[in-house]
Amino acid sequence: MKVTIKTIAGLTSLTGLLIGNSLCAADLILNPGFETGDTTGWSVLGASDGSAYVNVQPANGPSAPGLYDAYMYNVIPAANLALQQSTALGDASPGLVNYSFDLKVDSSLNGGVVFIHLWDINATGGVIDSGPGLLGPYFNTGWQTYTGSWTAPANVDHFEIEFDCTTGAASGSAEAIEVDNVSLTQVPEPATVSLAAMGLLGVWALRRSRKA
């Protein structure tokens, strides 16, 4: 009987801890620090020519030991340059979502502005009217880490984040920014917490069975 109890306790703890831990803190963003050396996982949208582009460059911000960050540059009048990523289909669930990113505004001239969009997306690709929506504008001149959270609704399927580097209509409008260390994580649902608790219970049961 003791062997049976030990086996069950061991399997319970292993299953609970592995599943619970794997779901607790995973970043939903692919290539969050641009450490592939390019924009793998990201889409570059909007204005795009020699006057508006996204480069991945050697990091000069807070990302050590990271090697790269994304540099966005736009001097096309009244145009938007966007760096966007949708997370994997079906990876979102209702509940608290935490976001974090590092941002540096290198130049913001004559109406240039920076906004960040954070959206809840449903299974058909539609934007749900909830979540933090539009963040900004940002005008800082040095690296800053921005964090926050929102509550995803019941019909959420995945998330989308977009960095907008936008110019004004005035002559000489310009915007240049750097982005690094983008993170979207979800606080575990009660079912996930239960799995982790099951793991701890299994460990406790295993220790008790060994003492018996």
Tell me, yes or no, whether 99 lies in a domain: yes
Mean pLDDT to the nearest integer, 127-148: 88
- Please determine, for residue 212, whether its predicted confidence score (pLDDT) is greater than 90: no
> Which domain range does residue 58 map to?
26-188
Tell me, yes or no, whether 132 lies in a domain: yes
**CA distances to 4, 8, 17, 93, 148 from 190, in Å:** 29, 23, 14, 11, 21
Question: What is the reported pLDDT for 15?
Answer: 44
Residue 51 buriedness (CB in 10 A; 0-12 / 13-18 / 19+):
middle
Tell me, yes or no, whether 164 lies in a domain: yes
Confidence of residue 109 (pLDDT cuts 50, 70, 90): very high
**Chain segment 31-70, per-residue pLDDT in tens:** 999 999 999 999 999 977 789 999 999 987 776 568 999 9
Q: What's the CA gap between 167 and 164, in Å, rounded?
A: 10
Confidence of residue 169 (pLDDT cuts 50, 70, 90): very high
**Nearest CA to 180 among 3, 88, 77, 54?**
54
Question: What is the reported pLDDT for 75?
Answer: 96
Question: How many of the other CB atoms lie within 10 Å of CB of 119?
Answer: 20
Which of 6-15, 147-156, 187-196 is least confident? Answer: 6-15
Which DSSP helix (H) or strand (E) runs through 23? helix 2-24
Question: What is the reported pLDDT for 132?
Answer: 87
Question: What is the reported pLDDT for 147?
Answer: 96
Instruction: Please say whether the beta carbons of 113 and 137 come within 8 A.
Output: yes
- Do β-strands 68-74 and 80-86 pair in parallel, antiparallel, or remain unpaired? unpaired
Q: What's the CA gap between 91 and 85, in Å, rounded?
A: 13
Which DSSP helix (H) or strand (E) runs through 18? helix 2-24
Tell me, yes or no, whether 56 lies in a domain: yes
**CA distances to 94, 156, 176, 181 from 104, in Å:** 31, 30, 9, 12
- Please determine, for residue 141, whether its predicted confidence score (pLDDT) is greater than 80: no
As a whole number, the mean pLDDT across the chain is: 83
**Bridge partners of residue 69, in order along the sequence:** 57
The values of phi and psi at residue 181, to 5°, are 50, 55
Question: What is the reported pLDDT for 19?
Answer: 45
- Please determine, for residue 95, whether its predicted confidence score (pLDDT) is greater than 80: yes
Tell me, yes or no, whether 8 lies in a domain: no
**Bridge partners of residue 102, in order along the sequence:** 145, 180
Instruction: Report how many domains make up the chain.
Output: 1
Tell me, yes or no, whether 212 lies in a domain: no
- Say which CATH number the domain at 91 has: 2.60.120.260
Tell me, yes or no, whether 172 lies in a domain: yes
Which of 7-11, 84-88, 102-106, 133-137 is least confident? Answer: 7-11
**CA distances to 48, 82, 153, 161, 164 from 74, in Å:** 9, 10, 35, 19, 10
